[in-house]
Amino acid sequence: MTRDRKKALLALADGTVFEGYSLGAEGETWGEVVFNTAMTGYQEILTDPSYKGQIVTMTYPLIGNYGVNWEDVESRQPFVEGFIVKECSRITSNWRAEMGLDEYLRKHNIVGIQGIDTRELTMCIREAGAQTGVISTVDLDPGNLVAKARSLPTLEGRDLVKDVTCSERYQWQEGTWSLDRGYSRPSYNEDGLHIVAYDFGIKYNILRIFTQLGCRVTVVPAQTPAEEVLAMNPHGVFLSNGPGDPAPVSYAIENTRKLVGKVPIFGICLGHQILGLALGGRTYKLKFGHHGANHPVKDLATGKVEITSQNHGFVVDMESLGDRVEVTHINLNDHTVEGLRHKELPLFSVQYHPEASPGPHDSSYLFQRFIDMVKG
């Protein structure tokens, strides 16, 4: 780092305290502390609205070496509550970089900490579970910070979607990126497929892929009534990713229930959970969640194993769903549900992120599968 390193503390609700140095903005922040196993993609992680309410720990020891640019963001701003790394690179080396990671965090007032043993922190989270933590550069009393962490709310029962969704509907018109032209603006037929996407915290690359496939995409706020969506005459409805506990997002569950059977539906991450709840199921919280770009998922229909990008702390309980809904994908690490479909109606969803931002492209075929379903 080029600036003086200021002491910082991270305190967890279980009483564990780590001492390190300030990263990004100075001050104090709190949230549920989770770990992400991706080696790269920190800019996409920082701007993923699904991390609202959470402090992200990167398990890879050196972060920030290729800097930050304005093209690769996944939303309008960073949404993480805080950021934890073992070491933030002092060197930014990439021809597309426009600033360093530390400068980017300061610009967006994100409080972070570096210089702690992130392996020990990860083991702590794995053993004790994801829990509330506080990062501070202004209060360096460990006892005070632990008490704060214990007094703050958890993610369960909080509607965080309202904090990340768009304020009004809009049309998306940007395609995928290539080396020779950057992000394209592909043309589409006004009479072609019209997809309405609910923004529960949607990532831009999802919209880019739909546009690149020739779809006209209308993004609507999370609380948009189902009747208003149907009045747009969509060929299909997409339920996006988003942060936190799906159960308190009652308006999304109710609107999705009204759409079931009336239009083809595809859901990702929180959208998958919302769909499961709309079909009468339940969700529950995982001990420390799935966050990273290397999670193995098995397609039960083909037997194929995909390496997937994931970011979620809640999952659908398939035992709570009826016989008309079946599991399509499972996580090979803990055998939790990663995909479902209705046996009779045109709808399906996955818990992971096929848009690969960041992450592998193994699951990108799912977007075409939805397009084929809509056309059929």
Q: Is residue 60 part of a domain?
A: yes
Q: How far apart are CA 20 and CA 155, in angstroms?
A: 26
Q: Is residue 293 part of a domain?
A: yes
Q: How far apart are CA 240 and CA 252, in angstroms?
A: 11
Q: Is residue 1 part of a domain?
A: no
Question: Do 324 and 175 share a structural domain?
Answer: yes
Pseudo-torsion of CA 363, 54, 20, 96, nearest 10°?
50
Taking Cα atoms as reference points, which of 197, 193, 177 lies closest to residue 185? 177
Q: How far apart are CA 235 and CA 193, in angstroms?
A: 6
Question: Do 79 and 121 share a structural domain?
Answer: yes
Cis peptide before 142 (omega within 30 of 0): no
Quick check: 373 and 264 in contact, CB under 8 A? yes
Quick check: 215 and 172 in contact, CB under 8 A? no
Question: Do 247 and 131 share a structural domain?
Answer: no
User: What is the tens place of the pLDDT at every residue in 23-39?
Assistant: 999 999 999 999 999 99
Residue after which a domain boundary falls, among 131, 151, 171: 151
Question: Do 173 and 134 share a structural domain?
Answer: no
Number of domains comprising the chain:
2
Pseudo-torsion of CA 304, 289, 64, 52, nearest 10°?
120
Tell me what pLDDT residue 178 has: 80
Tell me what pLDDT residue 191 has: 64
Taking residues 244-267, what's their average pLDDT? 98
Question: Do 195 and 140 share a structural domain?
Answer: no
Residue positions annotated with a catalytic role: 269, 353, 355
Tell me what pLDDT residue 5 has: 80
Taking residues 103-116, what's their average pLDDT? 98
Provide CB contacts within 8 A for 100, sequence distance 6+. 64, 67, 68, 89, 92
The CATH number that applies at residue 293 is 3.40.50.880
Q: How far apart are CA 365 and CA 177, in angstroms?
A: 17
Q: Is residue 156 part of a domain?
A: no
Q: How far apart are CA 165 and CA 351, in angstroms?
A: 19
Reading the block at residue 171, the tokens are: 């049309």
Q: How far apart are CA 187 and CA 26, in angstroms?
A: 45
Question: Do 81 and 130 share a structural domain?
Answer: yes
Residue 1 has pLDDT above 50, yes or no: no
Quick check: 135 and 22 in contact, CB under 8 A? no
Q: Is residue 315 part of a domain?
A: yes
Quick check: 44 and 358 in contact, CB under 8 A? yes
pTM of the model: 0.95
Tell me what pLDDT residue 282 has: 97
Which range marks the domain in which residue 228 is found?
161-375
Q: Is residue 133 part of a domain?
A: yes
Tell me what pLDDT residue 175 has: 80
User: What is the tens place of the pLDDT at every residue in 139-196?
Assistant: 999 999 999 999 999 999 999 999 999 999 999 988 887 877 777 776 666 667 999 9
Residue with token string 């703050």: 152
Question: Do 35 and 137 share a structural domain?
Answer: yes
Residue after which a domain boundary falls, among 112, 127, 151: 151
The CATH number that applies at residue 140 is 3.50.30.20
Q: Is residue 298 part of a domain?
A: yes
User: What is the tens place of the pLDDT at every residue in 61-107?
Assistant: 999 999 999 999 999 999 999 999 999 999 999 999 999 999 999 99
Question: Do 197 and 345 share a structural domain?
Answer: yes
Q: How far apart are CA 177 and CA 185, in angstroms?
A: 10
